[in-house]
């Protein structure tokens, strides 16, 4: 079958339509609504990317399993008898029934409820009833009839998988983003654990509406969409984000050719310690005085043994707070106060945006805590995380408000034409990496007010994967 190229996928009208206009920094709004484009994404993008499925603390013991999604495909994630994490398609090789219908649990085998084909935790076909009737027939061997396996990669406890045997290793897929990712999720010896199963909720909008904001590290929307949070003085005040200067919106966008990006925010210790003292404080002093979100001074001491001086300086002065991994992962780690006072809380965790057709996305939210954090801190984060993020979060409830309305707009014939018909990323900074940015920290660094650089990295990568062989 002839592969259409990326300039013709909107071809229902028979005219070439560039989806991503690299010269003009524009995206055709049709990528939001078109079923043909969605199908192409499943083949070209989802099937070729490393995808986040969860955290290894969700299935801590041998025999634990959970159902997760890779694009439109349901997979079973297990911890097998050898303590290895396995990912396999949740589809019986016989007639295609889902062999596992519980969302989590513990098992020795998966027995297809339809005809009883029985698979091991590693996906091998163990038996078919009735043994002496050989119901698997003679065309294929039992070895060939195991559940379809995916390649698995673990990074900072995060479980990734891909069905693409030709995809580069996970480390290569993450690229230089791994350096920043470790700052967010690899701070302590014993690592992180989830507070429980993820929140899940459905939004009547295309997955990319959510993904370009998170994966692209959009900080520009904060001053309007999340203005209520500043009106309430929760993480700054309205003066910080005034339309003329917006000093609170300054920072660094870091974008990567793999499509990932992060937003680093400046830490100012002078309100706490006074300007003179703050200027003299070392990175270690700062990190002990105000531990990064979700940490304690004891855990900070562990961080000192894991990170080098450049990493510690970055953590103290310019930590990554939000961002994401291509194609559909959101990352966040920022402080969040509790109105009852007491220890500081945090919003700490991971998002994934699971496609459910061109006009629907399922949002997943995992909350993370340091395994070795004291119970009081874990309990506090179990309160503050969902004050900020998730469907009830005072930040993200407003994010969810935009996408269904954008989806409805994109369906209109008139809205699909002319100036409105393209989604715009015209406000680019480009690379202006500060002289004191750590040499070991990669990526394209854009300093200043948050503009469109991170999101454009998402669309560049999207264009590569959706194009005709480009990006390979």
Partner 1 sequence: MSDAQLFVNAPEVPLDSPDRIRATDPTYWQLHEFLNDEAALLDADQLLQWLELTADDVRYRMPVRVGVHRGFGDGFARRMYFYNDTKKVLAMRIHRLVGTRNGWVEDPPSRTSRFVTGVRAYTSDKPEEFVVHSKLLLTRSRSDLGEVKLLSAHRLDRLRRQGGDIKLANRDIYLDQTTINMHNMAVFL
List the Cα angle 160/164/166 in 5-degree steps: 115
Residue 227 touches partner 1, criterion: CB under 8 A: yes
- Interface with partner 1 (CB under 8 A), residue from 22, 35, 140, 202: 202
Q: What binding mask, one character per residue, do residues 395-434 give for partner 1 by CB under 8 A, x or -? A: -xxxxxx-xxx-----------------------------
Residue 72 touches partner 1, criterion: CB under 8 A: no
- Residue 149 is classified by DSSP as B
CB of 124 to partner 1, least distance (A): 22
Residue 239 touches partner 1, criterion: CB under 8 A: no
CB of 113 to partner 1, least distance (A): 11
Residue 204 touches partner 1, criterion: CB under 8 A: yes
Site of tokens 């399993």? 65
Token pair for 46: 């989802």
The count of residues interacting with partner 1 (CB under 8 A) is: 50
Angle between helix 309-317 and 297-306 (nearest 10): 140
Q: Is 426 exposed, middle or buried (0-12, 13-18, 19+ CB in 10 A)?
A: exposed
The rounded distance, in Å, linking the Cα atoms of 330 and 366 is 10
CB of 121 to partner 1, least distance (A): 16
Nearer to partner 1, 145 or 234 (CB): 234
Residue 197 to residues 54, 348, 368, 412: CA-CA distances in angstroms? Answer: 9, 14, 11, 38
Residue 285 touches partner 1, criterion: CB under 8 A: no
Within a 10 A sphere around the Cβ of 108, how many other Cβ atoms?
12
**Interacting positions 333-352 with partner 1 (CB under 8 A):** 338-340
Q: What binding mask, one character per residue, do residues 289-328 give for partner 1 by CB under 8 A, x or -? A: ----------------------------------------
Reported for 132-138, long-range contacts at CB under 8 A and 24+ positions apart, including other chains, are 136/94
Residue 203 touches partner 1, criterion: CB under 8 A: yes
Nearer to partner 1, 262 or 366 (CB): 366
Helices (H) and strands (E) in the chain, counts: 14, 22
Q: Can you give the binding site for partner 1, defined by CB under 8 A? A: 101-106, 194-205, 224-229, 231-232, 338-340, 362, 367, 378-379, 382-383, 386-387, 390-392, 394, 396-401, 403-405
């Amino acid at each position: 079958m002839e592969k259409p190229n990326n300039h013709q996928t909107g071809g229902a009208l028979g005219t070439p339509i560039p989806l991503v206009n690299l010269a003009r920094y524009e995206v055709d709004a049709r990528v939001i609504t078109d079923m043909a484009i969605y199908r192409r994404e499943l083949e070209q993008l989802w099937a070729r990317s490393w995808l986040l499925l969860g955290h290894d603390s969700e299935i801590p013991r041998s025999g634990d399993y959970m159902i997760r999604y890779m694009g439109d495909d349901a997979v079973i994630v297990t911890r097998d008898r050898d303590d290895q994490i396995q990912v396999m398609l949740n589809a019986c090789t016989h007639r295609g029934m889902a062999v596992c219908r519980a969302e989590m649990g513990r098992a020795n085998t998966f027995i297809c409820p339809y005809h009883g084909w029985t698979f091991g935790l590693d996906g091998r076909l163990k038996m078919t009833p009735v043994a002496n009737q050989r119901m698997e027939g003679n065309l294929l061997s039992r070895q060939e009839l195991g559940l379809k396996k995916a390649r698995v990669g673990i990074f900072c406890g995060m479980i990734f998988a891909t069905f693409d045997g030709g995809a580069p290793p996970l480390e290569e897929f993450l690229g230089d983003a791994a350096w920043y990712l470790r700052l967010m999720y690899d701070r302590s010896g014993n690592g992180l654990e989830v507070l429980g199963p993820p929140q899940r909720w459905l939004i009547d909008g295309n997955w990319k509406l959510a993904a370009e904001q998170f994966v692209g590290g959009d900080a520009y929307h904060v001053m309007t969409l999340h203005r209520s949070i500043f009106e309430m003085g929760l993480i700054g005040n309205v003066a910080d984000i005034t339309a003329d200067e917006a000093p609170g919106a300054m920072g660094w966008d870091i974008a990567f050719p793999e499509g990932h990006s992060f937003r680093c925010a400046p830490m100012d210790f002078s309100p706490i310690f006074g300007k003179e003292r703050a200027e003299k404080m070392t990175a270690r002093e700062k990190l002990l005085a105000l531990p990064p979100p979700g940490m304690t001074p004891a855990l900070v001491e562990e961080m000192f043994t894991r990170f080098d001086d450049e990493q510690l300086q970055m953590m103290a002065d310019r930590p990554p707070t939000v961002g994401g991994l291509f194609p559909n992962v959101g990352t966040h780690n920022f402080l969040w106060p509790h109105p009852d006072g007491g220890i500081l809380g945090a919003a700490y965790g991971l998002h994934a945006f699971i496609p459910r057709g061109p006009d629907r996305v399922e949002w997943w939210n995992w909350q993370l805590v340091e395994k070795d954090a004291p119970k009081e801190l874990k309990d506090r984060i179990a309160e503050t995380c969902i004050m900020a993020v998730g469907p009830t979060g005072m930040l993200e409830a407003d994010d969810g408000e935009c996408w269904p309305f954008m989806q409805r707009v994109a369906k209109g014939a008139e809205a699909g034409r002319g100036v409105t018909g393209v989604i715009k990323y015209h406000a680019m900074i480009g690379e202006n990496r500060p002289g004191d940015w750590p040499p070991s920290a990669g990526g394209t660094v854009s300093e200043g007010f948050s503009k469109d650089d991170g999101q454009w990295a998402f669309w560049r990568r999207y264009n590569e994967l959706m194009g005709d062989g480009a990006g390979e």
